[in-house]
Structure 1
Amino acid sequence: MNQIENILFYIALGVYAGAMILYLFFFLGRKEKFGRRGTLLLYAGFLSHTAALMVRGIGAGRVPLTNQYEFATSFAWGIVLLFLIFERKYKFQAMGAFVMPVVLLVIGYAAMQNKDVRPLMPALQSNWLVFHVATAVISYGAFGVAFGVSLLYLIRDRMKEDSFIKKHVPDLKQLDYISYRAVAAGYFFLTLVMITGAIWAQQAWSRYWAWDPKETWSFITWIIYSIYLHLRIARGWRGKKAAVFAVVGFIAVLFTYIGVNTLLPSVHSYA
């Protein structure tokens, strides 16, 4: 099982890298055929990635969401899933040039982690595990999409307006709306992450909140996106300010996961 999983995982990683290169050729070289090929390749990589997760789950006898490697690879999977959903809905392949580098960063981090399957520690033997971590995967995936779209928003005015840009890159108003939709989806699931995490913590450690570094940074991230949504809804924030906020929010997401796991001791560091 481990060998099959590794083969599928590294196929996915390589195909994602290929898809990123095609999206960059599409966006920078203004070649439509590369965009279509990039999307087809991304679907192939996503299928291989999904199969790798399924094989690991079958081999481990549990949902593969319990250690650094498993969450990192699931995090990358979530970004790809949300990207494919948004790309299909908005017909927006240029987004791939900005989202796929993030996918490669996260799945590359996963590749550096210990892939051994180990028995679950007592704190992880809970039915809340799947709900808590799965909602985090979807939330982080949506924020990753918002990050890529917001980066594109910030450089949109600097692009030479030609037929390719008019056809394949939405205007500023549409980019702002897509980013907002992604943030709103991510925020909903992040709120569920906080709620299910508190319930799980009460069962595992007899307290709802302990200001553990992961909890604290998750709360900081939630506050950042809460401010974003409040200012947008209550004060009509749009445009560049909102895009910058979405970028800062995802930087907080990356630090909450990679930074805290690497730099700060936490009860959430399971591997």
Structure 2
Amino acid sequence: MNGFLDRVEGASGGFLLGAFLLYCAAFLLFGAAVTAKRRWDKAGFLAAAAGFVCHLLFFFTRWYISGYIPVSNMYEFMTFLAMMIVFAVLVLYLLYKSPALCAFSLPVGIVILAYASVFPKEITPLIPALQSRWLAIHVTLAASGEAFFAAGFAAGLMYLIRNVDFRSTDARWKRRGVEFTFFAMLAVIGFAVSSLGFQASGFRAVFEAPSAGREGQAVENRYTLPPLVSPHEGVYKEGSVFLGMRNGLLQAPGWMKGVQAGRKLNTVVWSLLAGGVLYGGLRAAARKPLGAVAQPFLRRMDPEDLDEIAYRSIAIGYPVFTLGALIFAMIWAHEAWGRFWGWDPKEVWALITWLFYAIYLHLRLSKGWHGEKSAWLAVLGFIIVIFTLIGVNLVITGLHSYAGV
């Protein structure tokens, strides 16, 4: 039986790799449809659909092996979110037949899937807090809503790239907003690439640091990225050495509480550095803002169509997210912790996300915020979603911190 499960687990990993490669091929085909001949968009759709089928096979084989729905940690949740983003892309293609929209939306799913790969992939028993039927309901609905927010983000960003005048000095802040969005996406890619690179090299460093709130006790901090920022008052114990640095360049400040504060800050620093290198390299190669590079490929897109697609995507995602991330989450919280609401960071940021999109819908439907204003809100909203998914789990300590392990 164990041999059979090992084979199924190996096949499961193969399905996910196949999905990733097919998504990349679909992106190239959609890109070719935009830049060259339109007939490539059908091939792109078929490649994305085939990748989605492989992704589903990964999902269900992992479910079979573990015995529970695979959305219990960062690796599983991010792979599921990527799958739902691709599903949203497929739906949008069937509705609008726009290769440009797919060419901009699909990379969001690819980046999320690449990001998932940096987390531990081992199947482990569910911790008691997750042993509930609400795991499947709460997490899958929340991720499905966020997938349509991602589609709205892509359409909103396309609208801005299509309409911002990158040669006008009057549009300076708009240009910077678009470029910051590109930088944020490249920071996630940079973190994934650097993490995978150091994992492949076998890098590992262990520090011992005083435990916050427990005088006289020490806690191990295990780094898989070189310690540019070491734990506050931490001491290097063993492991790899990067460029001759044992204790890092800086120590985490004392006001940063939490067992792994130094390691988490180090993750943020590496993400910003890697993103800066990628952005700087692309900007230097293009010799102009990245938004200006993308703009010519969107000239044929109708801005009103992009505006409508962003709105409809968010309008679909909002009630789904409301059910999954708020209502069912509160019911589960009452069962697990005896209260519907606490002030855990993940709960607070889920509420902030919900309120932000409520404001988006209110301003659009009641105040007539269409076009550029609506597009900026769609982009900013998904940046909040990404911070809720990544920043809160990996940087802020709370009841949901298990998801970042």
Q: Give the TM-score, by structure 1 length.
A: 0.93
The CA deviation string for residues 58-95 of structure 1, in whole angstroms up to 9 with x for no partner, is 11111111111111000000101111111101212211
Distance 1:20 1:239, change over 3 A: same
Q: Partner of 1:186 in structure 2?
A: 317
Q: Distance in 2 between matches of 1:239 and 1:75?
A: 28
| Aligned AA (2:32) | F
RMSD: 1.6
Q: Partner of 2:58 in structure 1?
A: 52
Written as runs of structure 1 = structure 2, the 5 A alignment for 1:119-268 is 119-157=125-163, 166=300, 169=301, 171-192=302-323, 193-268=325-400
| Aligned AA (1:177) | E
Maintained 8 Å contact 1:191/1:222 = yes
| Aligned AA (1:146) | G
Q: Which has the higher helix share?
A: 1
Give, in angstroms, the shift of residue 144 of structure 1.
0.7
Q: Distance in 2 between matches of 1:261 and 1:267?
A: 10
Distance 1:160 1:128, change over 3 A: closer
Q: Partner of 1:7 in structure 2?
A: 14
Q: Distance in 1 between matches of 2:115 and 2:343?
A: 26
Maintained 8 Å contact 2:143/2:321 = no
Q: Partner of 1:90 in structure 2?
A: 96
Q: Distance in 2 between matches of 1:116 and 1:38?
A: 32
| Aligned AA (1:221) | T
Unpaired segments ≥5 residues, structure 2: 1-7, 165-294
Q: Partner of 1:63 in structure 2?
A: 69
Q: Distance in 2 between matches of 1:266 and 1:197?
A: 15
Give, in angstroms, the shift of residue 217 of structure 1.
1.1
Maintained 8 Å contact 2:162/2:299 = no
How much identity, in percent, do the aligned residues show? 40
Q: Give the TM-score, by structure 2 length.
A: 0.63
Distance 1:160 1:110, change over 3 A: closer
Q: Partner of 1:112 in structure 2?
A: 118
Task: Give the secondary-structure state (helix, strand or coil) at the position aligned to 1:32.
Answer: coil
Q: Distance in 2 between matches of 1:160 and 1:25?
A: 14
Maintained 8 Å contact 1:76/1:106 = yes
Maintained 8 Å contact 2:304/2:371 = yes
Q: Partner of 2:401 in structure 1?
A: 269
Give, in angstroms, the shift of residue 31 of structure 1.
2.1
The CA deviation string for residues 160-208 of structure 1, in whole angstroms up to 9 with x for no partner, is 69xx964xx3x12221111111011111111112111111011101111
Maintained 8 Å contact 1:35/1:94 = no
Task: Give the secondary-structure state (helix, strand or coil) at the position aligned to 2:401.
Answer: coil
The CA deviation string for residues 15-47 of structure 1, in whole angstroms up to 9 with x for no partner, is 1112122222322x2321332221111111111
Q: Distance in 2 between matches of 1:259 and 1:24?
A: 31
Q: Partner of 1:81 in structure 2?
A: 87
Task: Give the secondary-structure state (helix, strand or coil) at the position aligned to 1:84.
Answer: helix
Give, in angstroms, the shift of residue 253 of structure 1.
0.6
| Aligned AA (2:11) | I
| Aligned: 1:39 with 2:45 | yes
Which of 53-62 and 147-156 deviates more?
A: 147-156
Maintained 8 Å contact 1:67/1:269 = no
Q: Distance in 2 between matches of 1:264 and 1:41?
A: 38
Structure 1 stretches of 4+ with a deviation exceeding 6 A read none
**Structure with greater Cα Rg:** 2
